[in-house]
Amino acid sequence: MMPRKVPGELPVSFRYTPGVGNTAFLEALRDRGVFLGARCDVCGVTYVPARIFCERCLAELAPGVECGPEGTIESFTVGDVGIDGEPLAEQVALGLVKLDGADTVLLHRLLGDGPWEIGVRVRASLAEDRTGSILDIEGFRPA
Amino acid sequence: MRRVAVVGAGMTRFVRRAQETGKELSFIAARAALDSAGIGLERVDAVCGGTAPDAFDGVHRKGDYLADGSGAFGKPYIRTYVGGGTGVFVPIQGWYTIASGMADVVLVVAEEKMSSCQPHPQGAFLTIFDNVIERQLGPNLLWIFALEMNRYMTVHGLDKRDIATVAVKNKRNAAGHPAALLGQADISVEDVLASEVLAWPVQRLDVSPISDGAVAIVMASEDVATRLTDTPVWVQGVGWNLDSAYWTNRDLYFPEYVRNAARMAYDMAGVSEPRKQIHIAEPYDPFDYKELHHLEGLMLFDKGKAPEAARDGVLERDGDLPSCPSGGLLGVGNPIAAAGLMKIAELYWQLRGEAGARQVPGTPERGVAQAWGDLMQVGTVVVMGTDGGPPTTASREATPPAAPRATALSEAEFRATPGAVEDRLDVEYAWDAGEAMGGFLEALRDGRIVATRCAQCGRTLVPPRRFCERCFRPTDEWVAVEARGIVHTYSICHVSWDMLPLDEPQIPAVIRLDGASEGGFLHLLGEVSPEHIGIGLEVEAVWKPIEERVGSILDIVYFRPRDPALRTAGG
C-alpha cells in the first residue's frame, strides 16, 4: 500500500493595516502616552481603542476621549502552558482591563506577582521607546 | 411569498489598498445605505453579510468579524459565501429572509479586503484546485480563465478584438462612477491588445483589479417599502445553481449553471422573453470574456453571439442592451463579494432613474444582475424591476454613490503604515487522497490511467470517484482508459501564481482521454512549440521512468503530440 497523504500549505501571509480608529489610538499612545477612545453620546458608550462607528447604532464617531491610564480588572487568567501545551518557564497573567472612562475592556498582560483578583485597580506601564503598537503598553501593574 | 424591494444603497470607494479595516469599510457602506433609505439601524430586523474567502482578509472568521461594522449588533445575522457568486447571493439571502415573513427590513452588506493577502491574493485561490491531482502541477488561477476563454473563443471562432471591446466599454463606463478604481475615458482596444500577455489568451487589461471595498443595500417588505419611498425597486426573481465540481469534465465554452440560475429567476419574475423584457444587464465581468460568456448564459444572446454585439455597440450605455453601465468589475473594481453587490446597487440606481452621468437612456423597467464563482460552477442571478420605469421626477443631476469614501494607500504608504501587523497562518495540511483517487494514483505508478464506471448512466469517470454525482449511487467498477486523448483546451502561461514572470512558459491543458465519457483532467503539455498546439490536438502521456514513480499525478511528466512530426526535441 503506497502512502496516499498529499502534503500542502496555504502559501500566503498577511499584512493588516490598523484602520482609521486603531491608527488614532496607536498614534496617541505612541506620541502622547494616552489611551484614546471614541464616545457615542446616543448610546452612552465609550469604546477603547477608538472606533469610527458605534456598533450599537452605526453612528459615525470621532476619536477624541482620553481614558485611563488606571483601570479595573474585569477578569483575568494565569497561564502555565504555551500554545502547543508546553510548560512555560514563568507564568503569564492576562487581564481584561476596563480603563477609567471606558465602557469596553482591553486585553493585555498583567505585570507583577499577583495574586490577581477581579476588581483590583491597575495602572498601565508604558514602554519608553514607543513605535505605535499595542506592545507600547508593557502591561498593567497594581495601582 | 411576500414582495421584497430594494430601498437604499451605498458603497465605499473601491481602492487597491485601503487604510480602513474590513469592519470600517463595512460600516461606511452600511451607513451610506441606511442614509440613502432614510432609516436608522433600529429599523433593521436582520443583517445578511457576504464576503468571499477568509484567506483574503486573513481573518479566519470573517462573518462575525464583520458583524459589528455591518450593523448586526444584537440582531439575527449570518454570513453567506459562494465564492465569487457571493455578492449576488447575499441579496437573495436578504430576499428570502423578508419574503418568508421573518423580517420586514434587512441590511445586506458585502465586503472584501484583498490587499491584506500577501504576496498576492491569488494564493488564496490555490486551494480551489484539487489538492491531490491539480495542485501538484503548480496551477495558477489564471489557468482556469485562460482555459475557459480559449475554449469559448475556439468553439465559436471569436476574434480577441471583439472581446477586448468589453474591457474598453467597462473602463470608459467607470469613468462616470465616483467610486471606481480603474475608470478611464480614453482607453482603446489597442491598449488592451497591447497589454502584457499573462496566460494566453488572457492579457493584463482583460483582467479586473485586486481591490478593497464594501457595498450595502437595504431591502424591505412591500408594506414597509412603499411607506419609505415612492420608487422601490422590486426583486422580481432570484435564482442560483451549481454545476459539477469536476471542472475538467465540463465543456467550458458555455456556462450551463448560469442558464439554469437565470431560468429559475426568469420563471419567478414572469420573464418569458428575456431579450425583450430585460432592459439593463449587470453580468459578472472579472475578465472581459466572462461578461460575454455570462450574457449568453443569461440567454440574452445566442451562444457565441455576444462578442459581435459588443463590437457593434449593442452593450454600450446607449445601446439596445446596456451591459455593465456601472463600469463593472473591470472598471469599478473587484473586491469580490462587494463587486457583485455593487451590480445590485447599480440596478437600483438605474431603475430609479437616478444614475446621473451613468444613467441609461429611455425608461428601463427591468434589469438582471449575475455573479459567478466557486470552482467556475456557481451562478447567482437576481432580476429587479419597477412598475413602469423611472419616474420623470427622478434626479439625474448627481451621480451616485454620493461622495464615496475609503482611504487609498500607495504601496509605499501601505508598507509604512504605523501599527500595521504582519502574520502568517503557520499551518500545513496533509490531504488523504481517498479511496477513488488513491486507486487512481496507484494505477499511475504502474503506468496506467483508470476510471470508475456508473452502470446506471453508463459514464466512465475521470477523475474517478466512488459515487456517481448524477445518479447519486456508488460507481460499479474500475476500468482502464487510454493514456492518450485530445486537447480540450489549453493556455500558455507566462506568470506564476504570485504574478512573477516564469523563465519558461507553462502550457496547462485539459486533456480529454480516449475512453472517458466527458473530459479528463488537467495536466501540462511538453515537447511542443506553441504554433503546433490547437484544440483537438492528439496527445499521449509521457511517463517518468518506472523506478521514479511514486503514485502521483506527476508520474506523468506531461502530454506530448502523438504525431512525432509535431514534437520538438527533448522536452
For cell 486585553, what's the residue?
A: A107
pLDDT tens digits, one per residue of B390-423? 665 555 568 899 889 999 999 999 999 888 999 9
Residues A38 and A61: beta-carbon distance below 8 Å: yes
Closest CA to B110 of B220, B235, B14, B216: B216
Q: How far is CA B77 from the centre of its chain?
A: 24
* B31: exposed, middle or buried (Cβ count in 10 Å: 0-12, 13-18, 19+): buried
pLDDT tens digits, one per residue of B332-357? 999 999 999 999 999 999 999 999 99
Q: Is the pLDDT of residue B571 over 60?
A: no
For B72, half-sphere exposure in the C-beta direction (CA atoms, 13 angstrom radius) is 22
Pairing between β-strand B366-373 and β-strand B280-282 as defined by DSSP bridges: parallel
- Sequential DSSP letters for A119-141: T-EEEEEE-SS--SSGGGEEEEE
d(CA B79, CA B192): 37
**Looking at chain A, which residue has its C-alpha nearest residue B119?**
A12
Average pLDDT over every residue of B487-496 = 96
d(CA B524, CA B506): 7
Contacts of B418 in chain A (CB under 8 A): 18, 23, 26-27, 30, 131-132
Confidence (pLDDT) at B248: 92
Phi, psi (rounded to 5 degrees) for B461: -105, 120
Sheet containing strand B538-543, strands side by side: B520-524, B508-513, B484-490, B538-543, B556-561
Please indicate whether, in this complex, the C-beta atoms of A8 and B131 are within 8 angstroms of each other.
yes
Closest Cβ–Cβ partner in A11, A30, A53 for B69: A53
- Sequential DSSP letters for B16-75: SSBSS-HHHHHHHHHHHHHHHHT--GGG--EEEEE---HHHHT-TTHHHHTTTTTT-TTS
Residue B521 pairs in a beta bridge with B511
Mean pLDDT of chain B: 94
Q: Is the pLDDT of residue A4 over 80?
A: no
d(CA B421, CA B243): 40
pLDDT tens digits, one per residue of B251-274? 999 999 999 999 999 999 999 999
Closest CA to B257 of B246, B242, B267, B274: B242
Interface of A with B (CB under 8 A): 2-23, 26-27, 30, 52-53, 55-58, 60, 131-133
Average pLDDT over every residue of B62-91 = 96
Q: Tell whether B115 is within 8 A of chain A (Cβ).
A: yes
Contacts of B26 in chain A (CB under 8 A): none
Confidence (pLDDT) at B125: 85
d(CA B371, CA B234): 19
Please indicate whether, in this complex, the C-beta atoms of A133 and B20 are within 8 angstroms of each other.
no
Average pLDDT over every residue of A115-119 = 94
Confidence (pLDDT) at A86: 93
Interface ipTM = 0.93
Average pLDDT over every residue of B223-246 = 94
**pTM for the full predicted model:** 0.95
Phi, psi (rounded to 5 degrees) for B507: -120, 80
d(CA B114, CA B334): 9
Q: Is the pLDDT of residue A60 over 90?
A: yes
Q: B364: distance to nearest CA of chain A, Å? A: 34
Q: Tell whether B546 is within 8 A of chain A (Cβ).
A: no
Average pLDDT over every residue of B16-35 = 97
Average pLDDT over every residue of B280-297 = 98
d(CA B152, CA B157): 8
User: SS3 of B385, please?
Assistant: strand
Q: Is the pLDDT of residue B155 over 80?
A: yes
Confidence (pLDDT) at B24: 98
Q: Tell whether B417 is within 8 A of chain A (Cβ).
A: yes
Give the rounded percent of residues in chain B with a pLDDT score beyond 90. Answer: 87
d(CA B459, CA B515): 10
Average pLDDT over every residue of B521-534 = 96
Q: Tell whether B136 is within 8 A of chain A (Cβ).
A: yes
B-interface mutation test, from A58, A84, A131, A135, most B Cβ less than 10 A away: A58
d(CA B406, CA B115): 13
Question: What is the count of residue pairs from A and B with beta carbons less than 8 Å apart?
Answer: 155
Residues A104 and A59: beta-carbon distance below 8 Å: no
Contacts of A5 in chain B (CB under 8 A): 430-433
Closest Cβ–Cβ partner in B117, B414, B550 for A14: B117
Confidence (pLDDT) at B287: 97
